[in-house]
Chain A
Amino acid sequence: MEEEELQKAVYAYLRKKGFRQTELALQEEQNRLSSSAQSDLAVSRLDNDPARYHDAYSKLRSWAYSSLDLYKHELLRVLYPVYIHCFMDLVAEGHMQEARTFFHTFREDHELTHLRDLQKLEGILSPSHLEEMELARSLRQNKVKIKLCEYSYDLLLQYLQKTQSFTMLGIINEHINFEVSAGQPSSISDDADVVALVGSSQDIAKHINQKEVRWGLLEDSVEERLERALSDSEKAEGENKEVDPEDSKKRSVEGAKQGVSVKKLKKDKLVGATGKNIRSETSTVSMAPRVKPELTLPVMTTEVEQSILEDLRNRVQLSSLALPSISFYTFINTHNSLNCSSISHDGSLVAGGFSDSSLKVWDMAKIGRPTKTFTEQQPSANLQGESESVQNEHLLGPEERKRSYTLFQGHAGPVYSATFSPFGDFLLSSSSDSTIRLWSTKLNSNLVCYKGHNYPVWDVQFSPVGHYFASCSHDRTARIWSMDRIQPLRIMAGHLSDVDCVQWHANCNYIATGSSDKTVRLWDVQSGECVRVFIGHRSMVLSLAMSLDGRYMASGDEDGTIMMWDLSSGRCVSPLMGHSSCIWTLAFSCEGTLLASGSADCTVKLWDVTASMKVPRMEENKASSTNRLRLLKALPTKSTPVYTLRFSRRNLLFAAGALSKQV
């Protein structure tokens, strides 16, 4: 309106002044403009036709599929983001029917790699869902980064220009960031970037991963004291005894110990090159740099320390040639209600959390070995009953005395996780009633109920030193607690979906969390900040394990993929393929040479991790494709999915799982 008035005023002014020519010129120009605006309008009306997405995408698709083999896989990467954004654009414009047809027509192409995302996106049925759904929102807000080689990029641009497909061009411009690299196209196997199509923006992740992580071990740990003691005595024997590195395992370990003592003398505390100078051939725990604890750690009693020292002296050295012995605890008659299990450090206590809210603890030392017949078992079970607290005995009555376990009741919902304190005298359990309970295995009773989470608590883990523990929940947070406070000490928020599992770093300064948003994050316990985001999983992360030297982390997901991460760089060292179903549990051996994984496909697999760890040290960059971790052994169980794995301090592997009937 205003414009028209203005125009009239201008015309009037021109006429009044007698600028005849100018007036005509203006008129002419105006006509031209308006006509072109009209034609623009026509074009945009054409553009609104929902079919154009379908046409343009199918053209792009057939072009990509018929492109040169060498560049094909790179060009195909572009298709997926274009596909989902086409779909979401259609939804946003309100063409529901067309969006559906479009989605189903091309769905098959992407099912292989993005099935879970597609299943979620399939549910989007109205523009409002786009706002509501986590995944869709983050996809809309963030740009996808795709690596292309120069030539593929040129090819793509040429195609888009030649075919005048502005729809595609628009989508690609709007949602994709190309990272063009000179030279040859990347190999197909090196596909990590495609997977990285997740909620959190790449840049943020990159930024976070710049932060420093001091992954070293704690100063003055028991292990170190033991080593010092040993090396002292060795020095007395004669230090200059030249040790042939390949002579034997033990020797090389001693060599490493000497290394540590030298380092101690130099009084080097933190991360740095000093570690490398004296690093000998084998990668034992002692090689890691030392850091100061950020938390005040509980004091260890001398007895406990003695027992740990004893264990350390008796530790079996494991390697790819010396595989561990595995003791398997099978839960029987669980009627499909066992949700989780936990094994104490020495393997003597086994806890099971059930969906009927109960928590049961078996004392394996008292039950005796499985060869014992039933009649023999009876008296020991009775003994167990008598040793139970008086209160329990009264409550349970004579029938209960036959029980082979101690029953802990208190939760009001399925128990999702249980964890023993490092010395086995406490037990923590988390439940869907959003509480965590602390139990004493000595008193057989509940001590504390920690309320803080708002939704089911999926996982709880004691810190390696005890006293502190971490929990994670459906409320998308992870929390740090100490046993003596009923309020959490820290709340870690940042995951975009449920936090499904949590694990402490060996030095207690960090925790790692795995989430349904397919990322793993590392958090600083002291500051509560996220210091690493690990992107690469294609589905929900179910299990985590930290190597005892603190440098590596393994994570397992719903699809059966295990990923090894280097904490300092935040990069995936190498994916481990082999399992066909959910990885319920992971465990590193004490010296970090082996990784054990337990899965729903009823196997325990042992992986050689030394191979992969050494390569990246030497050549950091080229590591990814060369060093696939070696599967050492797959040990199938008798239709028993493996729920828990735990290496004892002496390197005996304990495993637990519930016998399930084949359907």
Chain B
Amino acid sequence: MSIVPKETIEVIAQSIGIANLSTDVALALAPDVEYRLREIMQEAIKCMRHSKRTVLTADDVDSALSLRNVEPLYGFASGDPLRFKRAVGHKDLFYIDDKDVDLKDVINAPLPKAPLDSGVVAHWLAIEGVQPAIPENAPVEAIVAPSENKRSEHGKEDGLPVDIKLPVKHVLSRELQLYFDKITELIVSRSDSILFKEALESLATDSGLHPLVPYFSYFIADEVTRSLNDLPLLFALMRVVRSLLRNPHIHIEPYLHQLMPSMITCIVAKRLGHRIADNHWELRDFAANLVASVCRRFGHVYHNLQYRLTRTLLNAFLDPSKAMTQHYGAIQGLAALGPSVVRVLILPQLETYMQLLEPEMQLEKQKNEMKRKEAWHVYGALLCAAGKCLYERVKLFPSLLHPPTRQFWRSNGRVATKMPNKRKASSSHLLQQPALKKLASDGTAGSIPPISMTTSMQAAADGFPTPSESGIRPSSSTGQLSNESISGGSRKEKSGGKAPTPSTVLAQAWKEDLDAGHLMASLFELFGEGIFSFIQPVEMSFFL
């Protein structure tokens, strides 16, 4: 019942040499022991409070004991917390692990380092009520809060004079200047060193860097425009941007206007790096993700941010005179903004764009290997973007895909048997461009599609249901539709007929954006099987 059971009393009695303590005595003692314990703890808590602590230590208990004129308990000097161990075989018996210490070892052990002497340092916690963002201060919303606070305060106390702040000379402490110099030096010269990684880490976490942000953003903008053909440098700069964006203590909004152009440059510049072998694709991807993260974070504050960004990217994407690299960047940039952007902006253009892209990818039509490679990259990016978009749709409406696919496979063994046919045909086609296939696969996650642009759309065209059909119908017809299109595709291999554009259907599908089935069908027409890799594994299993 009580905290101290009589067994404990008996054990303690034994430990001090009273072998046979009667149960009655133990029972009578137990409550009193508990009371005394509580009393000591109450005093110990007082001592703790007066030592301005919120954690009770063994010292406090000692002080409490001495308050009660009881000899303190020696040997429990606070330092490490005491570790209680459970006695083997007893559920609720604990003891403190008190190891024997060899005196020789203690004597021979080297002296431990003397603890540092206490000292006092001073800093400004607040200057006229505003907390300066210096490393000594806790990282808080202090940077954001003042403006809001002030506003609300001025709102409340009406008729108060608004204090106009005169322009202040920006003074950087020497430490910050040194820091800036070191970081910029690292960026420019040693961006592959471990030190640079640590520098990035510091940029992403340190709280006192706010005064340096304008300098950094200027430096980045400047360097990007100046050294477009130095790929490692550009990469390093983008990494710095990422770190700055990540730093929770930096209020980066005012400098975004300076950083955004640099980032977009790194996405859609015509040439990045001076060597052909430079992997500028990676930089574009990186920058695209960066820009997307900016949009996500600040999109709600600056409403036209995403609009302006997408406009820039879309312009690059839709301009046929732009280089393939630029197209690639634009697609990646748009794709990074999320599937809905892809759906609204890329997919409607997909049809036309593929027509442009197709000749670039074929060995016969595009002799320049470099260009062809680029085209395949673009193709990969497009596939990836469209696929992700599809994946999202399918995820949203899983029911759309489930029954038809099953039905499709159950009902139609023919297609399965015909598939190899088609595959053979297309792979024979592919054989000519194995390298290109590899390239495209770099951009995509799954298998490489045969060039299904050649697939006939005829069957699809007559197989498509009218868009006005009710909810259930389209889903059931989807299976039919893909079924048809596949068989149609295989038919096409033989016939090699013309491909009437399904753009009307596509357009309809985009409008009725609920219809994932249509979307998939259309995408399948454009990309072939490659698109299946974006469908959830469950559905995938039907195709394997």
List residues of chain A with CB under 8 Å of any chain B CB: 96-97, 100, 119-120, 122-126, 129, 246, 320-336, 338-340, 350, 352, 354-355, 360, 362, 364, 367, 369-371, 403-405, 414, 416, 432, 455-456, 458, 474, 498, 500, 516, 540, 542, 558, 581-582, 584, 600, 602, 604, 606, 632-633, 635-639, 641, 643, 653, 655-656, 658, 663
Contact = CB atoms under 8 A, between A and B. Distances in A.
A643 B140 contact: no
Given A125-B34, A331-B119, A332-B120, A500 B49 contact: yes
Contacts of A633: 126, 129, 149
Interface in B49-99: 49-55, 57, 59, 63, 66-67
Contacts of A581: 54
A253 to B, nearest CB: 17
Interface string B128-168: 11110000111010000000010001000101100000000
A214 B341 CA distance: 74
B interface majority secondary structure:
mixed
A327 B173 contact: no
A326 B130 CA distance: 9
A163 to B, nearest CB: 30
B138 A340 contact: no
Contacts of A122: 38
A635 B2 CA distance: 45
8 closest residue pairs by CB, A with B = A323-B129, A125-B31, A123-B38, A328-B125, A326-B125, A333-B116, A636-B138, A326-B126
Contacts of B122: 327-330, 364, 369-370
A655 B118 contact: no
B278 interface: no
8 contacts: A120-B42, A125-B35, A338-B52, A339-B51, A350-B120, A414-B51, A416-B50, A635-B125
Question: Which of B53, B149, B160 lies at the interface centre, i.e. has the most chain A CB atoms within 10 A of its CB?
Answer: B53
Interface of B: 1-2, 31-32, 34-35, 38-39, 42, 46-47, 49-55, 57, 59, 63, 66-67, 115-131, 136-138, 140, 149, 153, 157, 159-160, 173
A643 B59 contact: no
Contact of B121 (A330, A335, A403, A604): A330
Contact of A339 (B35, B52, B118, B137): B52
A370 B55 CA distance: 30
Contacts, number: 171
B128 A323 contact: yes
B118 A325 contact: no
A245 B478 CA distance: 80
B52 A638 contact: no
A324 B129 contact: yes
B128 A322 contact: yes
Contact of A123 (B39, B51, B115, B160): B39
A15 to B, nearest CB: 56
Nearest to B3: A122
Contact of A324 (B128, B136, B157): B128
Contacts of B119: 331-333, 362, 404-405
B243 to A, nearest CB: 22
A330 B120 contact: yes
Nearest to B174: A371
Given A332-B116, A339-B50, 19 more contacts: A100-B2, A122-B38, A125-B35, A126-B35, A325-B129, A326-B124, A329-B122, A331-B120, A333-B115, A335-B115, A339-B51, A362-B119, A404-B120, A432-B47, A455-B67, A600-B54, A638-B136, A638-B138, A653-B126
A456 B67 contact: yes
A636 B140 contact: yes
A355 B50 contact: no
A124 B32 CA distance: 9
Contacts of A414: 51, 63
Question: Which of B47, B55, B63 lies at the interface centre, i.e. has the most chain A CB atoms within 10 A of its CB?
Answer: B47
Nearest to B117: A333
B148 to A, nearest CB: 12
A329 B121 contact: yes
B162 to A, nearest CB: 11
A613 B238 CA distance: 56
B118 A332 contact: yes
Question: Which of B57, B115, B126, B157 lies at the interface centre, i.e. has the most chain A CB atoms within 10 A of its CB?
Answer: B126
B115 to A, nearest CB: 6
Contact of A542 (B49, B129, B138): B49
B125 A327 contact: yes
B125 A332 contact: no
Contact of B138 (A327, A637, A641, A656): A637
B121 A582 contact: no
A124 B124 CA distance: 50
Contacts of A369: 122
B72 to A, nearest CB: 12
A519 to B, nearest CB: 16
Given A122-B38, A635-B125, A637-B137, A600 B118 contact: no
A584 B49 CA distance: 9
B49 A338 contact: no
B8 to A, nearest CB: 14
A321 B151 CA distance: 12
A600 B127 CA distance: 22
Given A338-B52, A403-B117, A636-B140, A126 B31 contact: yes
B59 A355 contact: yes
Question: Which of A350, A362, A633 lies at the interface centre, i.e. has the most chain B CB atoms within 10 A of its CB?
Answer: A633
Nearest to B4: A125
Contacts of B153: 320-321
B117 A584 contact: no
A326 B128 CA distance: 8
Contacts of A639: 138
Contact of B52 (A321, A584, A637): A584
Nearest to A603: B138
A57 B66 CA distance: 41
